[in-house]
Chains A and B, each alone.
Chain A
Amino acid sequence: MTTLPTPPRARRRFQAAPYLFVLPYLLIFASFWAWPIVSSFLLSFKDSRLGAAAPWSVANWSRLAGDEFFRTALKNTFVILIIQVPSMLLMATGLAVALNSRMLRARGLFRFAFFAPLVVGTVAYSAVFRLLFNTDFGMVNRALGGLGLPPVDWLNQPGPAMAVIILALLWRWTGYNAIILLAGLQGIREELYEAASIDGATPWEQFWKITVPMLRPTLLFCLVLSLIGTLQLFTEPALITNSGPGNATMTLGTYLYQQGFRSFNFGYASTIAYTVAAIAAVVSLVQLRLFGRDT
């Protein structure tokens, strides 16, 4: 086999091409993403209110350690994380299996119903949920009344307000995760199930012995995405409950916004931001350790 001789000019152009292709993206990536990651860390050691000449200090970090509002935000975020993410993934897995089932009629219609919340923006659905859960004239309390149950003051009591946020998130994101899991399900070979049912495995056994292990990489992907999403939760608590009542639904996201863009304390807001990143990294690593073996 002979190779065609490449003219030197062409070879040089060939070498430059990949760099030219990457360059525009890289410029944006470096200035608006990579550098800010570093810069944010540096900012967390400055008192930004003192201007550019502020001395380096760990004042922001020590303030964070003793900040009762930060602890509230952290606690609220974790309550949402611990209740919402597992319930959602459980529901999404069940939904994906059901939507994939041959026994289901009008599958397209069902898929549409469960995926429809995906196309609603967070602001739009936050507004709708705020209206639906209104104490005096909301549809939810009307429905409760219809069932003979007493109305709930959803948005003005800490527990119910948290429940509304979690329900809103479940409504919005379950279908999204179900899509990803459905794609994962469709990647599992049919023969596995056939072989298992010949061996006498019940559908329940098939679910735990085939579906769940084969879906593990996809589930892990959903878990990590949901985790990072929940840690940055902002729109729902900001618009549905306005972080209230009191600070009952204040999250790391709304606290960061308040510190950064209401009080314009960039240094302290960066400290909060970096804490979010650190938590995300730690929890992602733990998840990879727990669920990511041999995948």
Chain B
Amino acid sequence: MTAHSTLDGVTQARDTARARRNRELGKSVALHALLIPLALLFVAPLYLMVVFSTHPDSAIFSPAPPLAFGGAFVENFRQLQADTNFVRTLANSTVISVLYTIFSMLLTSMAGFAFAKYAFRGRNLLFGIILATLTIPSFVTIIPQFILVARDLHLSNTYWAVILPTLANTIGIFYMRQAFQTVPDDLLHAARIDGASEWRTFWQIALPVVRPALAALAILLFLASWNDYLWPLIVLTQKDSYTMPVALGTLVGLTRVSWGALMVGTTIATLPFLALFLALQRHFVAGIAGGAVKD
């Protein structure tokens, strides 16, 4: 091989490397050109929701609708409060979602722990039955649940009417069982040898180990409860017992509705979760994905 041809080869290699870099740059530009408009489309409804919450209806309906923030948020909030007793529904939603999250986490983690860490008679049968109902649409149960809660237990318009039926959370038990399976048996045995009761072994040893999974589950449960619409709509019939989605839902269908006020409501319903989502994005993603990881 002559020196000349070697040099040629190097130039050639440099050229193809540059060509590849150019090609990758081109692809990268194309990718961004595709994704940026799409991303804007995804954020636009949220942005407009927040912007419209700060404008009076006259501005929202004007020929040139506002795209920047205005100063009517407080006024819109007053209108919303007058229309729906919004503060009360906010309190109802908060109490219901907090209670639901706490109870549901307690129930599903206890059961998940038993299914993951004990060999007991009937375990596989019970877990099989619970899993089998996972694909049954909740629609099937809504009528008997209503009869049970409203007619037999006389719980209509109470917090428990909303909380109790939704506590039978099958995804949660599946998720917590998976989480507890990662806790080493030796750790639990060590606690038992030290004289800890089964409850203490669960509460003080196993539960702290699965804290990240619990955090993710808590966010998902809280969100699900906070945003739930159909069930509260069915069991809550008095204005003062409404949760926030039910109250907002009553406004949407009306012919004369203050859209600025309604957008205040949807914004308040959304913003805390946007913040929570941003702060805990990793847990949140892990939580959603956790339900999907099956191998």
Contact = CB atoms under 8 A, between A and B. Distances in A.
Interface of A: 4, 13-15, 17-19, 21-22, 24-26, 28-29, 31-37, 39-40, 43, 98, 101, 103-105, 109-132, 136-137, 139, 142, 171, 175-176, 179-180, 182-184, 187, 217-218, 221-222, 224, 228, 231-232, 234-235, 238-239, 242, 252-253, 256-257, 260-261, 266, 269-270, 273-274, 276-277, 280-281, 284
A40 B140 CA distance: 6
Contact of B113 (A15, A21, A239): A21
A36 B120 CA distance: 27
B130 A29 contact: yes
Given A18-B120, A104-B32, A123 B143 contact: no
22 contacts: A13-B198, A21-B118, A22-B110, A29-B168, A36-B148, A43-B143, A101-B31, A104-B31, A115-B281, A116-B277, A119-B277, A122-B227, A123-B227, A126-B252, A127-B266, A132-B48, A232-B139, A242-B253, A252-B139, A273-B143, A277-B136, A277-B140
B118 to A, nearest CB: 4
A116 B245 contact: no
Contacts of B106: 24
A130 B252 contact: yes
Minimum-distance CB pairs A-B, first 7: A183-B289, A121-B227, A36-B144, A124-B266, A18-B118, A36-B141, A21-B114
Interface string B177-203: 000000000000000010001110010
A139 B65 contact: yes
Given A21-B114, A125-B45, A261-B234, A131 B227 contact: no
A122 B52 CA distance: 18
A280 B45 contact: no
Contacts of B249: 123, 235, 238-239
A17 B130 contact: no
A105 B274 CA distance: 22
Given A33-B168, A121-B226, A281-B135, A113 B141 contact: no
Interface stretch (B10-18, B35-43, B69-77): B35-43
B98 interface: no
User: Interface centre among A31, A40, A224, by most B CB within 10 Å?
Assistant: A40
B137 A25 contact: no
